[in-house]
Amino acid sequence: MKYIVRALKYFVYITILMVLLLAVLVALGMVSSDVDVMFRNGWKSVWMILGMFFLIALVYPRVGYTRRAAHIPGSYAEIRDGVVRYMEDHGYRLEKEEGENLTFVSRSLLKRILRIWEDRISLEREFAGFSVEGLTRDVTQIVYGLEFKFRNPDGEA
């Protein structure tokens, strides 16, 4: 269900961005406001573009989100404060803590809006550390940063 919601959010997001871009171009007088003049095949082109946006929105959640293991030695009680501090230092705030599982969201409202509230990073406790889930680029940075921090406790991540 989460996948379908993300795909629909991205479809709406991409479509709104395109409409805003076209509105700016029309307002600046760079293109006609008539759809039949704006696009070579008129409304047929609009439907083709929407279909293309729909396909992109269906694929993006599959490649844009990931789950990776962060190998962090120690018991949960020993590493919890360090993990929370690391995430806070990198622009996240603790949203909820359920047992040994942590969920973080961005502190920046602008970042949350631009990511259509899909900025959640989940850390699920595993035997060797955490399983980190979220946006691929964020997860990659967080996993490498946490592993570095806990291998070099005195070094800055």
CA 11, CA 7: separation in Å to the nearest integer? 6
Pair of tokens at residue 2 = 């989460």
pLDDT per residue over 88-145, tens digit each? 999 899 989 888 899 999 888 888 887 878 788 999 998 888 999 998 889 999 999 9
Q: Amino acid letter at 134?
A: G
Structure tokens of 26?
């029309």
Nearest to 157 by CA among 83, 80, 95, 102: 83
Each residue's pLDDT tens digit, 43-75: 899 999 999 999 999 998 888 888 999 988 888
